[in-house]
Structure 1
Amino acid sequence: MEPQYPAHWEADVVLADGGTAHLRPIRPEDADLLRSFYSRLSDQSIYFRFFGPRPRLSDREVTWFTTVDYVDRVALIATLGAEMVAVVRYDRVADQEAEVAFLVEDAHQGRGVASVLMEHLRAAARERGITTFVADVLPSNSRMTAFFRQAGYTARSRFADGVVRMTLDLAATETSREVTMAREHRAEARSIERLLTPSSVVVIGAGREAGGIGQTVLRNLLGADFNGPVYPVHREVRAVAGVRAYKSVSAIDEDVDLAVVAVPADSVLDVVEECARKGVKGLIVVSSGFGETGAAGRERQDELVRIARAHGLRVVGPNCLGIANTDPAVRLNATLAARLPGRGRVGFFSQSGALGTALLQRVAQRGMGISTFVSAGNRADVSGNDLLQYWEEDPATDVILLYLESLGNPRKFARLARRTSRVKPIVVVKSGGMTQGVPVGHAAPELRLPDSALTALFEQAGVIRVDDLTRLFDVAQLLAYQPLPAGRRVGVVSNSDALALLAVDACLAAGLEPSPAANLGARAGAADYRRALAELRDQVDAVVAIYMPPVPGNAAEVAAELVRAATESGKPLLATFEGRLGMPEELRAAGEADTATGPAKGSVPSYPAPEEAVRALAHVVRYACGRERAPAAPSRPDGIDTAGARTLVAEAIASGPAGEIDAAGLLARYGVEVWPAVAAASPDEAEAAAEKLGWPVALRSADPQVAHRAGAVRLGLAGADDVRRAFEELSGLLGPGVRLAVQRMAPQPAVGVVVRAVDDPDFGAVVSFGLGDATARLLGDEAYRLAPLTARDAAGLVRSVRAAPLLFGGHGYPPVAVPALTDLLLRVGVLADELPGVTRLDLDPVLVSADGVYVLGARAAVRPPISPRPDHGPRRLR
């Protein structure tokens, strides 16, 4: 039988220099590709691969190398355009061992091709049951020996018969994961850097019509005084906006880094091909007519991305506003927005093209500055995750703003955001919270979990999520220009009793700790503010200053006093200053040369009302307190038998494509006991079961869904008569077809809770927690965290539900064993993370008393795992 081609091994990848390549298994029809590739290799590369000269490959060798079975003999190639640039292969030499070899074209060595090929070959080998790679390397081939040692896997080497034999254990290690993530970070950051710092730009489709898309982008580039040549391309005109035009990209004599494409959608693919031949490094496609128009447009959009990536290009768009970089060394405005904010410390990503112009105007109206801006439009390629990789280490960016309409890889977003938010705040507006819908045309799935799960993901990652765009900028202007607060203590200084009271009330509502407001009176001047601010300096962590004089006063002197106090105290100070919004000139710290550079650090942000100032401050306080906590590793309780659990899951999957598994047996491998329940079809059987289990007992429906009905459980049955009477009552209430079960009574009083885990296609393993009563279920009072959990995550789950006070002694309830509950959550989190074949796990009901946790019911479903999980496996572009 002919070997089946493993199409799921194909992938687009980002290389170390920011370019892209396509990886796929080799095929017999690649014979000519291989010959051409081999003809471009240097003698040294051939010598290192074959340990001797080999000017050409024979037809027999070409057939051998290109014909594989994708099981015992596997080869992956990297292609760029129509050429093969690298190949890696393994040949099985024992049951779990294979010999591996690499060959990278000389012109592409040092671009990280070998490292990403190694990741994909390892994944393929693990899929085929191979656990070890061996490779024979010449001692003089130092680059290859260093490559194997730096891969992060457990490596051993020995010298024999003139070669160094390297042995690699393919089991993932913490080091190998760190190496992979570091390479991904550098590559994706570099790919964005290439887009944002071009040396030259071509605008394709820049015509003579004023107001046309192409000419608008061209004029904006010229108006920003881009620090490099700009080339208009139009087939019919000789000049656009006073600049010489070219008939095609290929007609330009000089190199071109960035192309802005503004031609009709049906011409874009031809333009991309031409840009690829020219050696353009990145594309900004502002043209519409793609995924947002329907199935045909989506097909065109997918082809656009395929062609671009195959030739080494990243794509922003299509249907986007463009990109901008305010760095004086670049001065790039490749957008449709004529007016950009000045230079600042805020990086801004927006998926919406139509909204992007309005957002930039809002930033400018507030007097804020930006470092860089990217509008992704349909986000067919470049996404917010790519920008996080870039901004994390961009020295020009201190604050990251994201307007998201969809999430292509929520799991990866959480990982990147968790790391980035440790050093730079991330503020997000996510639209579609009520519908969880995805805009037409976006290359992203519709999320299946509720919006509360997404909120929890953001919280777990240290991201500041706000409800709307106004609050996005409210928070941003505080983060960008004032230091982070050290705690929750807030001082309020005001010349209005009423406004001070509003500020204090807002602080209390937001969980802050306001000190008594300092009311200076309606005629307060600079000296009064100086004295009040000095008295507060050592007593609070932040100050809200309110200046709303009933008659005109010396506002400039008060403003100067606020800026001085903010600068000297090193603590955040924000104001309601004459009801103004943004960064007024009077409240700007010294340091900016002119308005084009934006406010300097230490400038005081102003809000129209004190409640708005406090809301922004509350977001920043929560972020600052979270960042101060040391990062924690996922917790792994004792008594876990992962190997035994995996055997159970494999056996259950082998018995059928999908179905239920013995949840009690599975949980036992993770140190969780499920109390036995004995089915009873008659009063006699119920009595016998109670005698066996021990009195007192409970009688309930064996169907968890029916058991939630009011009156469907009988508790504290202490004798035979009780059991028989309860059986007759429930049979009459629930109907003859409902199965009943007898179970030993758990200690009382107790609170019922529900613990669940799902393997979500987008988020990966997710653990949820809520109370089990009918009110909590109806209200959807449920909290979520990504698995595996840290001890802090588990504690946060318990405390995040609105009914959490019932677990801590609130409303007359006795406090329960919360440590035992968090231990259960940790164990479920480990299970969910380690067993991707378990698609759903429900622990319901679970009772928590003062003495411990009692799992009274559990169900689990399995299916063959979808590989790889989100953000697992080798690096690849979605």
Structure 2
Amino acid sequence: MHSTSDSASVYPAHWEADVVLRDGGTARIRPIAPDDAERLVSFYEQVSDESKYYRFFAPYPRLSDRDVHRFTHHDYVDRVGLAATVGGEFIATVRYDRIDERGRPAKEPGADQAEVAFLVQDAHQGRGVASALLEHIAAVARERGIRRFAAEVLPANTKMIKVFTDAGYTQQRTFEDGVVRLEFDLEPTEQSMAVMRGREQRAEARSVQRLLAPGSVAVVGTGRAPGGVGRSVLRNLRDCGFTGRVYAVNHAFPEGGTRLDPEGVPGHRSVAEIPEPVDLAVLAVPAAQVPGVVRDCGEHGVRGLVILSSGYAESGPEGRERQRALLRQARSYGMRLIGPNAFGLINTAPEVRLNASLAPQMPGAGRTGLFTQSGAIGIALLSGLHRRGPGDGSIAGISTFLSAGNRADLSGNDLLQYWYDDPATDVAILYLESIGDPRKFMRLARRTSAVKPVVVAKGARHTGTAPLGHTVPTVRIPDSTVSALMRQAGVIRVDTVTEMADAGLLLASQPLPGGPRVAILGNSEALALLTYDACLTEGLRPLRPHVLDPAATPADFCTALSAALANGLCDAVVVTAIPWVGEEGVASPGEGADLAAALREATASAVPAKPVTVVHLAMDALADALAAPPPAAERAVRSLAQAVRYAKWRRDSADPGRVPEYEDIEETAAGEDIDRLLDELARHADITRSVPLPADDAHALLARYGIRV
């Protein structure tokens, strides 16, 4: 908290905010206060003469004492200054001064225009700092009753002109006396909102991408002997074939460095001793040692942290405060934070191959992204996806995985921003124990669902408190409301980890169904009937099952599936199979591989493509067919039904329709009637409570809107 010498000018702490910049780094935006004088002078000394000229329209090598006082003392109403900071130091400033219609300092109340000016250190230009500051100073101005900004910019200052032009506000531009004058309304427009959300998406996605694709990783807290959390992460990085450089850090290592065996990784006493920049640091040290390590990482320019350490919010009030301090410290250096109490992150892309987690086995590469707030759920999902498919990118496996633990910083929202336009991810799966910002989550989920499926399981649905360790503020809303919001956003909500895996596998490997009509075929009448009943239970429209002979061969299945796919009356197919009976008796379970090949052959030539899922008994080799199939009919059909409902939402949301226009609505007259009625009621009744409207007046008011009673 910063103080101000003017007791009437209370420091507006609610204007403080952390922002993610265009390159994925972070900065803190806050009001400038009187005790920032030294920071302001130091900041100005690092600005080039050219940038100073652009700001003041004349050579201005240094700030006078009067300038420093003026730029650090504000009333936070008519005069406001904000700074973007990294490591506690200024990297950019913005200020506004309220002006009258003639452009002079406003002396009378009611002026709703202000002049705005920016200054960004040259080393930080191009990072989107000015755009972020403009968004925040505009919000502050609206709060203080300012409706319009004016700015004067030299024509050569094209970067600043572009910041204003790209902001999306309605603006006017004039040129006079060699200066470009820009004026723009601060009322948010559809374009300005799109610009802000686009900047937000690109910045947050970039910050996640920097964590998932580091060029170098330092594991802090690696023991000198094999074993322990740090050495486990180090081993996992080695075994997965990580394409970057890896360093081990332990203050007990000998001076001058060492080399750890069997990993063959160089070891250093601190991050500061590593002879190159480090992109990602994984911390596996006691909580008491974390602040010192974070300081070393910040001063060394580390971009992101994974905190595996426990002893934070999950441990009680002292731990919660420790977690808040950790987040403040990380953000002060512009670092993003995963954790604390995290499980780690994985990227299976062949050019990265990162396993900076406690998962002992690297999952296969696939098209599904996973985010969990629980390490245990993460282990279960990784194990299930790895076990139920070959991981060749067509059936099982993942693209990226992140388990955020206490999610002090990075959350599911950040992953939705990243997955939205990630070409390696076709399906997003999230396990959430709490939703810190439901409005933003639903907005991001809806946008992502418009281009790829989003599958969510939410824990703690029947409790009234946030899970242990979750200090991010959460909004208490009924679980039924959460479900309704998710349906409106196109999110596929499931109840269990098994359902998450089932839905994710089907959606990642199969096309979306065009409707609810389902063809059923197979060599078991009983299994076909179970599938038929399951379809009815899930609201699908099953066709009469096509039951093959128990001795049907893979070729027979291929022919039947080809016919079903060609049938214009079906939108999806469920194949049911049991080991078939041939001349030599019952086929062995392993011969399901032949059936898998036959089913793939039938679907390869199908036009249009339709989803095909498989229900089987005692034919485990069918896990290699199409979608890695759950053995139970109920599970397979439930996943298919979820895909049907999602596909319908996609079709409906692609054509949202239009707002109808009615010729018999008299909105202006209705407003006048309401004002008149309120005036009359105020004269004759106590309107501090609900007062019934006379029937004649109610009917007349409804008639203004075309509603006849």
**Over residues 437-467 of structure 1, what are the superposed CA-to-partner deviations in whole Å (9 max), with x where a residue is unaligned?**
4211113345422111000111010010011
**Over residues 840-863 of structure 1, what are the superposed CA-to-partner deviations in whole Å (9 max), with x where a residue is unaligned?**
xxxxxxxxxxx9898xxxxxxxxx
Aligned-pair CA distance for 1:283 = 0.4
Q: Give, in whole Å, the separation in 2 of the partners of 1:433 and 1:584.
A: 33
Aligned-pair CA distance for 1:208 = 2.7
| Counterpart for residue 359 of structure 1 | 381
TM-score under structure 1 normalisation? 0.71
Aligned-pair CA distance for 1:220 = 0.5
Q: Give, in whole Å, the separation in 1 of the partners of 2:622 and 2:419.
A: 23
| Counterpart for residue 4 of structure 1 | 10
Contact 2:323/2:408 (<8 A) preserved: yes
> What is the SS of the residue equivalent to 2:10?
coil
Q: For 1:673-752, what aligned pairs fall within 5 Å after superposition?
A: 676=694
Contact 2:564/2:570 (<8 A) preserved: yes
Aligned-pair CA distance for 1:562 = 1.2
- 1:611 corresponds to which letter in structure 2? E
| Counterpart for residue 540 of structure 1 | 570
1:282 aligns with 2:321: no
Distance verdict in 2 for CA 1:524–1:256, change over 3 Å: same
1:574 aligns with 2:613: yes
Q: Give, in whole Å, the separation in 1 of the partners of 2:182 and 2:689.
A: 43
Contact 1:583/1:605 (<8 A) preserved: yes
Q: Which among 32, 44, 67 is matched to residue 61 of structure 1?
A: 67
Contact 1:566/1:604 (<8 A) preserved: no
- 1:423 corresponds to which letter in structure 2? V
| Counterpart for residue 656 of structure 2 | 632
Distance verdict in 2 for CA 1:347–1:642, change over 3 Å: farther
Distance verdict in 2 for CA 1:406–1:400, change over 3 Å: same
Distance verdict in 2 for CA 1:500–1:70, change over 3 Å: same
Contact 1:580/1:607 (<8 A) preserved: no
| Counterpart for residue 630 of structure 2 | 607
| Counterpart for residue 289 of structure 2 | 267
Contact 1:495/1:523 (<8 A) preserved: yes
| Counterpart for residue 403 of structure 1 | 431
| Counterpart for residue 103 of structure 2 | none
Distance verdict in 2 for CA 1:206–1:853, change over 3 Å: farther
- 1:337 corresponds to which letter in structure 2? A
Aligned-pair CA distance for 1:102 = 0.3
1:479 aligns with 2:507: yes
Contact 1:542/1:571 (<8 A) preserved: yes
Aligned-pair CA distance for 1:199 = 0.2
- 1:27 corresponds to which letter in structure 2? A
> What is the SS of the residue equivalent to 2:117?
strand
1:216 aligns with 2:201: no
- 1:457 corresponds to which letter in structure 2? L
Q: Which among 249, 263, 266 is matched to residue 244 of structure 1?
A: 266
Q: Give, in whole Å, the separation in 2 of the partners of 1:419 and 1:631.
A: 14
| Counterpart for residue 193 of structure 1 | 209
Q: Which among 597, 600, 610 is matched to residue 563 of structure 1?
A: 600
Structure 2: which 5+ runs fail to align? 1-6, 101-110, 390-395
Distance verdict in 2 for CA 1:125–1:410, change over 3 Å: same
Q: Which among 622, 636, 641 is matched to residue 618 of structure 1?
A: 641
> What is the SS of the residue equivalent to 2:116?
strand
Aligned-pair CA distance for 1:161 = 2.0
Deviates more, 1:280-289 or 1:566-575: 566-575
Q: Give, in whole Å, the separation in 1 of the partners of 2:50 and 2:689.
A: 59
Distance verdict in 2 for CA 1:216–1:661, change over 3 Å: farther
Contact 2:593/2:622 (<8 A) preserved: no
Distance verdict in 2 for CA 1:579–1:572, change over 3 Å: farther
Aligned-pair CA distance for 1:359 = 2.2
> What is the SS of the residue equivalent to 1:3?
coil
**Over residues 485-529 of structure 1, what are the superposed CA-to-partner deviations in whole Å (9 max), with x where a residue is unaligned?**
111110000111111111111111111111100011321112322
Contact 1:97/1:131 (<8 A) preserved: yes
Distance verdict in 2 for CA 1:154–1:580, change over 3 Å: farther
Distance verdict in 2 for CA 1:607–1:853, change over 3 Å: farther
Aligned-pair CA distance for 1:628 = 1.2
Q: Give, in whole Å, the separation in 1 of the partners of 2:592 and 2:499.
A: 26
> What is the SS of the residue equivalent to 2:410?
coil
Q: Give, in whole Å, the separation in 1 of the partners of 2:386 and 2:246.
A: 26
**Over residues 9-51 of structure 1, what are the superposed CA-to-partner deviations in whole Å (9 max), with x where a residue is unaligned?**
0111111111000110001111111110110111110000000
Aligned-pair CA distance for 1:536 = 1.8
The count of residues paired between Structure 1 and Structure 2 equals: 656
Contact 2:380/2:497 (<8 A) preserved: no
Deviates more, 1:240-249 or 1:93-102: 240-249
- 1:255 corresponds to which letter in structure 2? P
Aligned-pair CA distance for 1:558 = 2.3
Deviates more, 1:635-644 or 1:566-575: 635-644
Q: Give, in whole Å, the separation in 1 of the partners of 2:114 and 2:245.
A: 52
Q: Give, in whole Å, the separation in 2 of the partners of 1:559 and 1:52.
A: 76
Aligned-pair CA distance for 1:366 = 1.0
Q: Give, in whole Å, the separation in 1 of the partners of 2:70 and 2:300.
A: 35
Structure 1: which 5+ runs fail to align? 588-602, 665-673, 678-692, 695-742, 745-819, 828-850, 855-878
- 1:240 corresponds to which letter in structure 2? L
Aligned-pair CA distance for 1:214 = 0.8
- 1:271 corresponds to which letter in structure 2? V
| Counterpart for residue 681 of structure 1 | none
TM-score under structure 2 normalisation? 0.88
| Counterpart for residue 865 of structure 1 | none
Q: Give, in whole Å, the separation in 1 of the partners of 2:521 and 2:668.
A: 59
Q: Give, in whole Å, the separation in 1 of the partners of 2:369 and 2:708.
A: 47
Q: Give, in whole Å, the separation in 1 of the partners of 2:38 and 2:415.
A: 39
**Over residues 701-746 of structure 1, what are the superposed CA-to-partner deviations in whole Å (9 max), with x where a residue is unaligned?**
xxxxxxxxxxxxxxxxxxxxxxxxxxxxxxxxxxxxxxxxxx99xx
| Counterpart for residue 421 of structure 1 | 449
Q: Give, in whole Å, the separation in 1 of the partners of 2:488 and 2:621.
A: 30
| Counterpart for residue 534 of structure 2 | 506
Q: For 1:447-458, what aligned pairs fall within 5 Å after superposition?
A: 447-458=475-486
| Counterpart for residue 493 of structure 2 | 465
> What is the SS of the residue equivalent to 1:432?
coil
Q: Give, in whole Å, the separation in 2 of the partners of 1:144 and 1:521.
A: 75
> What is the SS of the residue equivalent to 1:245?
strand
| Counterpart for residue 407 of structure 2 | 379
- 1:227 corresponds to which letter in structure 2? T
> What is the SS of the residue equivalent to 1:354?
helix
| Counterpart for residue 317 of structure 2 | 295
Q: Which among 291, 314, 320 is matched to residue 336 of structure 2?
A: 314
| Counterpart for residue 26 of structure 2 | 20
Distance verdict in 2 for CA 1:561–1:660, change over 3 Å: farther
Q: Give, in whole Å, the separation in 2 of the partners of 1:563 and 1:231.
A: 45
Q: Give, in whole Å, the separation in 1 of the partners of 2:318 and 2:113.
A: 46
Aligned-pair CA distance for 1:580 = 5.4
Q: Give, in whole Å, the separation in 2 of the partners of 1:226 and 1:294.
A: 37
- 2:600 corresponds to which letter in structure 1? V
> What is the SS of the residue equivalent to 1:263?
coil
- 1:23 corresponds to which letter in structure 2? I
| Counterpart for residue 121 of structure 2 | 105
- Report the aligned-residue RMSD: 2.7
Distance verdict in 2 for CA 1:84–1:171, change over 3 Å: same
Contact 1:90/1:99 (<8 A) preserved: yes
Report percent identity of matched pairs. Answer: 52
Aligned-pair CA distance for 1:632 = 2.7
Aligned-pair CA distance for 1:584 = 2.2
Deviates more, 1:12-21 or 1:519-528: 519-528
1:41 aligns with 2:47: yes
Distance verdict in 2 for CA 1:644–1:311, change over 3 Å: farther
Contact 1:340/1:361 (<8 A) preserved: no
> What is the SS of the residue equivalent to 1:584?
helix
Distance verdict in 2 for CA 1:456–1:144, change over 3 Å: same
Aligned-pair CA distance for 1:568 = 1.9
Q: Give, in whole Å, the separation in 2 of the partners of 1:196 and 1:484.
A: 29
- 2:260 corresponds to which letter in structure 1? V
1:235 aligns with 2:259: no
> What is the SS of the residue equivalent to 2:168?
coil
**Over residues 822-851 of structure 1, what are the superposed CA-to-partner deviations in whole Å (9 max), with x where a residue is unaligned?**
x9xxx9xxxxxxxxxxxxxxxxxxxxxxx9
Contact 1:12/1:310 (<8 A) preserved: no
